[in-house]
Amino acid sequence: MLDNIFGIDVLTFLIATPMLGGLLVAALPVDDDVPATKWLPRITALLISVIIGIVAGIVFYQYQQNAPAIGENQFLFEAGPHRWFSAIGASWHLGIDGISAAMVLLTALLTPLAILISWEVSDRPSMHLALLLLFEGASMGVFTAMDMLVFFMFYELSLVPMYFLINQWGSLPQKGVKNSGRFYASTKFMIYSIGGTLGMLLATQIIGFTAGTYEIAEIVSRSGDWLSLSNSANAFLGISVGTVKSLAFFGFMVAFGIKVPIWPFHTWLPDAHGEAPTAGSMLLAGVMLKLGAYGFIRLVVPIFPDVWVSEALLGINWATLFAILSMMGIVLGAFAAFGQNDIKRLVAYSSVNHMGFVGIGIAVMALLYGEAYMAGDSAVASGQMMDAIAATNGAVMQMFNHGLSSAGMFLLAGGIYHKTHTRDLREYGGFWVKAPIFGGVFIFMSMASLGLPGLNGFIGEFLVVRGSWPIFTWLTAISMLGLLFTGGYILKGIRYTLHGKFNMHWKDYNLEIERREFIAIFVLGIFIFWTGLYPNWILTTINASVTTILNGIG
């Protein structure tokens, strides 16, 4: 196994290299009129991200080859715990299991493509590229953290580059609008996220203080009694244990719920995705949304199994409430996407729609996990085991697949915007006439996003629906309405962009896909095909960890 690179353990390398590389790229001189300095930062950034991609690929491969048997400690490549923030008991502790391995791979795959696409940025390009690398480092940190404070730190850190990307490099003002929406969008994004993470910080502190450790695995293994173990005898700062637990749960819930996004915390997303530069949208949709979903699977479900099955309101428990909200996201997200005339906002709402399936998968996992926990079992009841496994695997697959297809969709939408400087679908029309390759690729990507069987998107949805049907039957049935309207908005996008008479306004524009865009799409396309035709290449790895988690409750 690849233990270390230049004496640094490999996961730390995956976090540190993009960040240091980002600093390096930011410092490089850039002058687009001189070929040498024009290409230096661009090539350097791409090279760094490709190296990260290769290392992450090797890590994923080696994890797969050495994957621990089901039931054993699923974490490999562990680094630390090293002394880090010993004053409060936090330590530098990294490691990956099958779920994080998939996410690390996704991050490392999308960043080079985003950087390749950002070559077209001519406004302060080196800083733009540096921010992308910084974001990659932060995301890697979240996905590899085994310490809650490390997790929190990188989770917050990932906001910063994204804020500046939207704020500084976002869209130009659209026709008929005086101000560019990017300031509103970036501020909304920032306040939303910070608002969410405030509660998360509090929750992290409460848990860390009472449990006396920030080790995630440690806390999870004591999830039942971490509060009672605290020195203050069933109370924390004079508040009862139940309340404290609920508060902490709520803090996490809101923070991750905003990120996923779970309806109704999603309204930052269309603005942020719509206004962000192409690369920013790709990483936002491809990676950032996964941070929230990953947080649920890694932290909220295992740490609060009992809270999920306790009553939230009107006699329904938290898991069911979560499923209802996810269902709302699927249905209303699809409707909202259908109602859009702005291509990037349409794709953005499609994320709300798709991530709803991740939400339902998580809800099933949380419900069954919580019920097993309350029953004192160490595994989900055997009659429901397959439901839980299918739903959880489906949620993770959906995360991975949505990362691929939404990044692709944003890439293409950004490509059109870059060429036409408008995002209004109604101003397009008949582009297939002049851009046959673009048309084919656009339909391919749309179909991946639609969840056409044979392509990747179907796998996740199929598994989630399989898992959730016996548990949340009606909710799943209603979600099908959303799946139907997924078709509606996807076809609307194709219809306005490619079909119809060619709009002669664009007669002298070059609308065909560019070589860089095509290379990026091609790489995504390979993964989309591969996952759709033979999902086992990644599912085996995910499934081992998921099964271990569901068999190791309490």
Partner 1 sequence: MLFDLFGQAFSDKNLMPWLVPFWPLAGFALISLLTLLLQFLQRDFTKPLHTIPATDHNYGGHHPDYDGMDVPYQPFWFRITAIVIGMTAMTLTLFFAWSLVFGALDDFGAGTFGKIPSAEQAVEEEQAAEPEHGATSDCEDCVYQSNIEWMSLGESSETGFRIGTLVDPLTSIMLFMVPIAAGMIFVYSIGYMWHDPRQARFFALICLFAGGMLTLVVADNLMLMFVGWEIMGLCSYSLIGFWYEKESAYNAAVKAFTVTRVADVIMLLGIVYLWSLTGTLNFRDILYNTETLQMLGNTKAILFGSWGLSASGLIGMLVITGTVGKSAQFPLHVWLPDAMEGPTPVSAMIHAAAMVSAGVYAVIRMYPLYVGLSNPHAADPTFSAPLLYMAIAGSFTALFAATMGTAQRDVKAVLAYSTISQLGFMIAALGIGAYIAAAFHLITHAFFKALLFMSSGSVIHAMEHGEHHVHEHHAHAHNRQGHDDHHHDEHGHDEEHFDAQDMFNMGGLRHRIPVTFWTFLIGGLSLSGFPLLTAGFWSKDEILADAWNGTTVHGSGLHMMVFWVLALAAFLTAFYTMRQLGLTFWGDARTEEAEHAGLGGPYSIVSVAMQAPLIVLAFFAIVAGFIGVPPDFPILGSIFSPEHNFFHNLVVYTLPAMANGGAEVFHVEAPPVRFFPVFMSVLVALGGLFVGWLMYWRKPLKAGQADPLIRIVGENVYTTLQRRYYMDDLYDWLFVRPFRWVGINVIKLIDKGFIDGVLHKIAAIFIWIGDFIKTLNAWLIDGVGDGIPKAIFGFGGWMRRTQSGRVQQYLLIVLLAMIAIGILFALSAGALAIG
Residue among 375 and 477 whose Cβ is closer to partner 1? 477
Considering only the stretches 6-14, 86-94, 199-207, 329-337, report the one whose residues sit in contact with partner 1 under the rule CB under 8 A: 329-337
In the bound state with partner 1, the residue whose beta carbon lies nearer, of 56 and 185, is 185
Polymer length of the chain: 554
Task: Report the residue number, 93 or 402, with the smaller CB distance to partner 1.
Answer: 402
Q: Interface with partner 1 includes 332 (CB under 8 A)? A: yes
Q: Is 394 helix (H, G, I), strand (E, B) or coil?
A: helix
Residues in 472-511 at the binding interface with partner 1, rule: CB under 8 A: 473-474, 476-477, 480, 483-485, 487-489, 491, 495, 498-502, 504, 507, 510
Structure tokens at 101: 């391995």
Give the rounded distance of the alpha carbon of 332 from its chain centre. 20
Of 535 and 554, the one with the shorter C-beta distance to partner 1 is 535
Based on the shown chain and the rule CB under 8 A, indicate whether residue 335 belongs to the binding site for partner 1: yes
d(CA 64, CA 71): 16
Q: Is position 518 an interface residue for partner 1 (rule: CB under 8 A)? A: yes
Per-residue x/- mask for partner 1, residues 12 to 51, rule CB under 8 A?
----------------------------------------
> Contact 301/322 with Cβ under 8 angstroms?
no
What is the CA 415 to chain-centroid distance, rounded?
22
| Strand pairing category for 311-313 and 239-240 | unpaired
Q: Does 393 bind partner 1 (CB under 8 A)?
A: yes
From 472, 480, 461, 471, select the one nearest 357 (Cα to Cα). 461
In this structure, what token pair is assigned to residue 58? 């090797």
Are 331 and 479 spatial neighbours (Cβ–Cβ below 8 Å)? yes
Q: Is 243 in the site for partner 1 (CB under 8 A)?
A: no
Q: How far is the CB of 500 from partner 1 (least distance, A)?
A: 7
Contacts of 116 (CB under 8 A, 6+ apart): 46, 516, 519, 520
User: Which position among 137, 257, 535, 554 is part of the footprint of partner 1 (CB under 8 A)?
Assistant: 535
| C-alpha to C-alpha distances, 148 to 155, 199, 212, 248, 425, nearest whole angstrom | 10, 14, 12, 13, 44
> What span, in angstroms and rounded, lies between the C-alpha atoms of 531 and 40?
35
* H or E element in which residue 312 lies: strand 311-313
Does residue 346 bind partner 1 (CB under 8 A)? no
The residue (of 306 and 512) whose beta carbon lies closer to partner 1 is 512
Say whether residue 97 binds partner 1 (CB under 8 A): no
Cα separation, 148 vs 242, whole angstroms? 21
Q: Which of 83, 175, 178, 515 binds partner 1 (CB under 8 A)?
A: 515
In the range 368-387, which residues lie near partner 1 by CB under 8 A? 385-387
Is 63 an interacting residue with respect to partner 1 (CB under 8 A)?
Answer: no
Instruction: Find the binding residues for partner 1 in span 428-457 (CB under 8 A).
Output: 430, 432-434, 436-437, 440, 443, 447, 452-454
